[in-house]
Amino acid sequence: MSEEEQVPGPERRYRRWPVILASIVVALAIGLYQTRTFWAPVQPRITPIADVSSERLLALGSVVGFAADDEAHAWLGLPFALPPVDQLRWRAPRPPAAWADTRDALDFGRPCVQLGSMLGGVPAEDEDGFAGDEDCLYLNVWAPRVEAESVPTGDEQWPVMVFIHGGGNIRGYAGARMYDGAKLAGRENVIVVSIAYRIGPLGFFSHPALRSETDDAVEASGNFGLLDQISALEWVQSHIEEFGGNASNVTIFGESAGGQDVFALLLAERSKGLFHRAIAQSGVLATVSRAEAENPVSAAEPGWRQSSAEAVVSLLEKAGVVPDRGAAKEYAEELPAVDLLGFLRSRSAREVLDVYRDPERPEALRVPKLIRDGALLPAGDWLEAMRAGRFHNVPILAGANRDEWKLFMTQDEDLVRQRFGVFFRVRDPESYERFSRLHSGWWAMAGVTNPLNALEYGGAKALFGYRFDWDELSPLLGQDTSEIIGAAHGFELPLLFGSFDLGDPLLSRLLYAEEGRAGREELSRQMMAYWATFARSGDPGHGGGKDLPEWSAWKSGVGTAQNGPGRWMILDAPDDGGLRMSAAHATRTRLVAEIEADTSLDVAARCAIYEDLLWKHERLTQEALAAVSSGRCRLDR
């Protein structure tokens, strides 16, 4: 009999009360944390003190930053383009204006306009859920800390790593705490640059009226967010040498939507010569055609429900210009382009975003983005473009996380039980793991196997892959986070940047407890070494003399008699196998075979899984469904 069982009934109940009260207090604290994070304004940073030794003279003017962690200097909130407001909304970015006085680069610029989100790093700032400003085109620089007269030149200049944040190209912030570049810069002697770019419908908007005001087909592509990224890379070419950076050795790296954008920049002719290596973390090739981005849903070639044609009608209707939606459609068709653009630019940014809300999930936006316009980006299939060799042939590294999909699964109450928004309990562990394995495997296929094989076939000079498996998160209020969250989407970023700061001290302490510090910091050191070595040489190798396992090239032999799986580096804790090369089996054939071999599934269940995979990752059509199910599944069954 336990000690507790020997205690008389009333006393046993009293002894339990402190535990119960403590649980309630923790739950309420976390609940309040979540509410505060979602609804409160962005908490202001404590402005650091300017460091005179960080003063640098750019062609635009003098800037001064501050002494950051790990023997780094930081310069925050540097403009790389004019504010894209008023008549510059939905125009290509223009070069920034120079300044006369020394500019204090001590704080981040404002986030670009978006819906607030805990996952996006930008809490909502008003009761309607909005955050940010249109004036948001700023970048941040971290470099090893040296005096102005000791900034390296010539062969001594540091490699430059330009980071593109994620967020589905509809949210996110270059100033999120998780992306602090000080440790990566200071420990690895590289320069880290994080950049902003227009997102949502202000960053991706294709409409015939825009083509009427410019002769530049690239400007009229509708991909303004990508043009912002190109503008930031042009700024790096013009000014990074003043910080000690080598403009001839620039690596772009991005996660999630940032990884997608890395693939897009590899295919965009306008970005040629602006970077020399590329890293796509959890990126895929999700795009839309110009027709999907522009046309009404009733057109012969239908557009999205949130196409620009439909958005214009919604804005006219909401503004009260016309009595109903039918009249708005007729009015939009007859309105001269110059008047239509005047109307669109007179709407507030929040009004524009509001018509893109998903009716079923008003906290999310549905925006056609990365538009295959045929000028900036290829109009056809991007994998075919890669196979044909139509890409910038630089060393490329691409990877995915083992449990990508679990981040999104934790928000689905059909899959997990929740209490106070934080108490998770998996409803069916077996189906939960199957769901994650298949969706995460499909993601790895789309973001690693398919593009690397296509690039290899197209003659890429150097390719490398990885899978991030580390899942040593601390238990969350008694729940096994390695089961619930695991190596989820975006969870490689705290290790890559070494920040372990998710934006709030409480959540960061809960997931990254003290007892696991040594293991995660060791893997963080190893990842930084691999990424920085790749940035220096185009080959992660042994991590730049850090005595790490050799990261060998992908080399699947696609298109030859030696065709087989490529090899990727597994990034994991020593107790789970550590760093090791492995065959990458994330292929459609392998995933379909797994579904077919699962004897616990009947035909209806298999068809439901195929539908879900296609709907979430590709395009759900009868033809696509028949291709994976040998014709057994029908959408109208």
Domain ranges of the chain: 3-39, 293-369, 399-520+551-586, 600-629
At 73, which helix (H) or strand (E)? strand 72-79
Contact 141, 250 (CB under 8 A): no
**pLDDT at residue 2, rounded to an integer:** 38
Is the confidence at residue 299, as pLDDT, over 50? Answer: yes
* Rounded CA separation 326/184 (Å): 55
CA 448 to chain centre: 15
Instruction: State residue 607's pLDDT score.
Output: 96
Q: What's the length of the chain? A: 637
Range with the lowest mean pLDDT among 136-140, 258-262, 264-268, 420-424?
420-424
Secondary structure class of 399 (helix, strand, coil): strand
Provide the pLDDT for residue 44. Answer: 55
Tell me: pLDDT of 357 over 60: yes
pLDDT at 619 > cutoff 70 = yes
For the whole model, what pTM was predicted?
0.92
pLDDT of 25 reads 37
Check whether 4 has a pLDDT greater than 50: no
Over range 141-163, report the average pLDDT.
97
Query: How much of the chain is in helix, strand and coil states, percent to nearest 5?
Result: 40, 15, 45
pLDDT at 43 over 80: no
Looking at residue 143, its amino acid is A
Task: Tell me if 286 sits within 8 A of 405, measured CB to CB.
Answer: no
Q: What is the pLDDT of residue 417?
A: 83
- Considering the chain, what percentage of its residues have pLDDT values greater than 70? 91
pLDDT at 42 over 90: no
Range 419-436 average pLDDT: 83
Mean pLDDT, the chain, whole residue set: 90
pLDDT bin (cut points 50, 70, 90) of residue 422 is low
Give the three-class secondary structure for 215: coil
pLDDT band for position 20 (cuts 50, 70, 90): very low
pLDDT at residue 398, rounded to an integer: 98
Residue type, 636: D
Q: What percent of the chain has pLDDT above 90?
A: 80
Query: In 10 A of CB 362, how many CB atoms?
Result: 12
Grouping H, G, I as helix, E, B as strand and the rest as coil, residue 470 is coil
Q: How far apart are CA 426 and CA 439, in angstroms?
A: 17
At residue 420, the pLDDT reads: 63
Amino acid at 261: D
pLDDT interval class at 30 (50, 70, 90): very low
d(CA 609, CA 22): 41
Query: Is the model's pLDDT at 386 over the cut of 70?
Result: yes
- The tokens describing 602, both together, are 């009947």
- Helices 257-267 and 224-239: crossing angle, nearest 10°? 70
